[in-house]
Amino acid sequence: MVVGGGISGLAAAWYLVRTHSEIEVTLLEAAPHVGGKLSVSDLAGIAVDEGAESFVASRPEALRLAREVGLESDLVTPAVFQASVFSRGRIRAMPRGQFMGIPTDLRSLAASEVLSPAGLLRVPLDRVISPTPMGQDVSVGEFISARVGREVVDRLVEPLLGGVYAGRADALSMQATMPALFRELRHDRSLLAATRRVAGGGMEAAGARRGLPFRGIIGGVGRVPGAMAAALVGSGVQIRTRTTVRGLTATETGWDVEVGPASSPEVIHADGVIVATPAAPAARLLADVVPNVALELSGIEAASVAVIALAYRSADFRAHTTGSGLLIPPVEGRMVKAVTYLDQKWGWLNEAAEREGVRLLRVSGNLGWMVHGPRAEAAATYRPTVPPLAEARRTPTIPHGSSALPPWIPTNAACLPAARAARCSAALVTSDTRGSAESSRSRRARFEKKSRRRTDDGTKGLVERTQVALVR
C-alpha cells in the first residue's frame, strides 16, 4: 500500500513494480488526481506547468524515468538557457561558466559587472587563503563567503541556489545541495578549482550537453505523473483517488489502513505500507505507530512560495526580454525573486505562444507577495505597458499560509539517519524534505551527522531525491 500519489508515491510504486513484480500494489491519493505539485493547466489556450517546468539532467534518474514511461520522444532542452541577473540596480548578463552561482570564468565575471570592484578583487584570493573548515557539513553561504567573498553569495549563489532549494544560502546544507562539489572540496582547498572540475565533468558524464543542465517535456513536466499512473495501472497497480487515509494500525499480519470519511470509514488490510505524503500529514499518520519518527517529521521547517504565470498580448508587450529569464537577488530588496520567459526558454511554448499571439512569463516570489500585489511588483520590475491578458495563480501552498517547499538546511538534512534508525515494517517516503524535530541545540549537534546515501538504481535514486526515508 502506497499512501500519497505525488511524485514520491508514484516513484515508490514504480520502483516496487519493477523490482518486486510479485507484489500487489495499491496507491491511495486524497486529491482528485495524482501528481501532487506537478500538474499542467490552461493559460490563454496553452498548457503551462503549474509546478516544476524542468528537471536537472546532470543526474540520470529523471531522464531514465521519462523514457521508461513513454516520454522519451518529448524530452527537450531549453531553446535558450542564459539568464540575466538584476544586480546593483541594472539587469546584467549572468557570467559564463558559473556553477550554481559559483564563478569559474573570472574574465566573464568581471565583464558582467555583477559584482562591485571590491567584490571582484576578493574572488581570486580563494587560491591563496588557508583552508576553510568543513566538518561533516557546512552551510553553503558560510563556506562560499569564506572562500570567494560575500558578494558572490549575495548576488550569484543566493538567487540561483536559494530559488531552487527554497531557502537562504546561509542556511542551506552544502552536503545536501552540492554533494559532488562537497566531495571534491575534501581534496582541494580552492573552491574555484574544485568548481571547475565539477562543472566540467559532471554533466558530460551524465550525458547532458554542457551548459544546458536541464531538460523539459513537450506539453509540460506535469505530464509525467499521468504517464506514470498509466504505466502503473498497465502493470496491475490499483490507483484510488479521492481517498483520504485517516489512520494506520499495526496488526499481527500487517497493517489496517483506515480510509474515507469519518462517518463511514473503510478499512483496507495491507502487508506493508509506504507513507509518501508531505511531512505534516505523515507525522499525523505515524504518531501512534512510530512516534519517534513522527516527532522528527513534525519539526520540519518549510517555506511558502508563489509561482504565477502571466500571458500578455504580443502586440501590447513592450518589455525587452533576452535569454531564458531574470533572477533578482534578495539583497536587491524586491519581493519578486525570478521570472522565466517561458516562450523564449522552450521551443514548444514559443510555437504555441506565437500561434495564440501572446507572450508567456512565469514569476516567482514569496506567498505574501502573491497575495498582496503580484501585478504591481511585476509591473515595477518588468515594466509591462498593460495588465496581463490572462493570469494563472498557481502555487503548491494552498490554502494561503501553508508550507510547500522545505529548504535543504543542515538540520533538515539530518533527518534521514534518525528516521532509518527507528525500525518498523513500514516505509516512510517524505515528499517534503529531510528534517528534524529536535530543539535548536540538538539540531546543531546533529548537523554533524552524515545524511545521504548513494544508490545505483535509477528509480530508487529518483525517489531518494524526492526525499525518501526508508524505515526498515
CATH number, domain containing residue 237: 3.50.50.60
Q: Rounded to whole angstroms, how far apart are CA atoms 169 and 101? A: 11
If residue 95 lies in a helix (H) or strand (E), which one and from where to where? Answer: none
In a domain? residue 52? no
Please report which residue ranges of 321-449 form alpha helices under DSSP H. Answer: 342-345, 347-356, 367-372, 374-382, 410-413, 415-421, 440-446
Same domain, 182 and 284: no
| pLDDT the model gives residue 306 | 77
Q: Rounded to whole angstroms, how far apart are CA atoms 84 and 165? A: 19
Q: Rounded to whole angstroms, how far apart are CA atoms 53 and 312? A: 19
CB-neighbour burial class of residue 81 (10 A; exposed 0-12, middle 13-18, buried 19+)? middle
Q: What is the secondary structure of 175-224 as a DSSP string? A: HHH-HHHHHHTTS-S-HHHHHHHHHHHHHHHTTPPTT--EEEETT-TTHH
Q: Look-up: residue for cell 501532487?
A: 36
End-of-domain residue from the set 173, 205, 237: 205
Q: Rounded to whole angstroms, how far apart are CA atoms 429 and 364? A: 27
Q: Comparing 423 with 323, which gets the higher pLDDT?
A: 323
C-alpha cell at 177: 545541495
End-of-domain residue from the set 172, 205, 238: 205
CATH number, domain containing residue 127: 1.10.3110.10
Q: Look-up: residue for cell 498557481?
A: 394
| pLDDT the model gives residue 443 | 32
Q: Rounded to whole angstroms, how far apart are CA atoms 330 and 453? A: 32
> Which of 183, 159, 180, 181 is closest to 169 using CA atoms?
159
Same domain, 286 and 421: yes
Indicate the residue type of 18.
R
In a domain? residue 215? no
Q: Comparing 147 with 289, which gets the higher pLDDT?
A: 147
Same domain, 426 and 280: yes
Edge-to-edge strand list for the sheet holding 75-76: 55-56, 214-217, 75-76
In a domain? residue 284? yes
**39 and 50 in contact (C-beta within 8 Å)?**
yes
The top-scoring range by mean pLDDT among 74-78, 289-293, 299-303 is: 74-78
**274 and 1 in contact (C-beta within 8 Å)?**
yes
Containing structural domain, residue 148: 95-205
Beta partners for residue 407, in sequence order: none
Q: Residue 58 carries which DSSP code?
A: S
Same domain, 288 and 329: no
Mean pLDDT of the chain: 79
pLDDT tens across 173-196, in order?
899 888 999 999 999 999 999 999
Same domain, 295 and 421: yes
In a domain? residue 71? no
**103 and 152 in contact (C-beta within 8 Å)?**
yes
| pLDDT the model gives residue 111 | 95
Q: Residue 471 carries which DSSP code?
A: -
Same domain, 352 and 365: yes
* Residue 16: strand, helix, or coil: helix
| pLDDT the model gives residue 408 | 54
CB burial readout 357-372, b (16+ within 10 A) else e: ebbbbbbbbbbebbee
pLDDT tens across 6-38, in order?
999 999 999 999 999 899 999 999 999 999 989
pTM of the model: 0.76
Total domains in the chain come to: 3
Same domain, 422 and 276: yes
End-of-domain residue from the set 154, 176, 205: 205
Same domain, 285 and 420: yes
Checking if the pLDDT of 466 tops 90, the result is no
| pLDDT the model gives residue 60 | 82
Same domain, 100 and 153: yes
Checking if the pLDDT of 59 tops 80, the result is no
Same domain, 198 and 114: yes
Same domain, 282 and 422: yes
The top-scoring range by mean pLDDT among 247-256, 375-384, 434-443 is: 247-256
| pLDDT the model gives residue 272 | 94
In a domain? residue 337? yes
Task: Please compute Rg for the chain using Cα positions.
Answer: 23
C-alpha cell at 191: 573552491
In a domain? residue 210? no
Give me the phi and psi of 362, to 5 degrees please: -130, 120
Same domain, 34 and 130: no
Checking if the pLDDT of 346 tops 70, the result is yes
In a domain? residue 75? no
In a domain? residue 177? yes
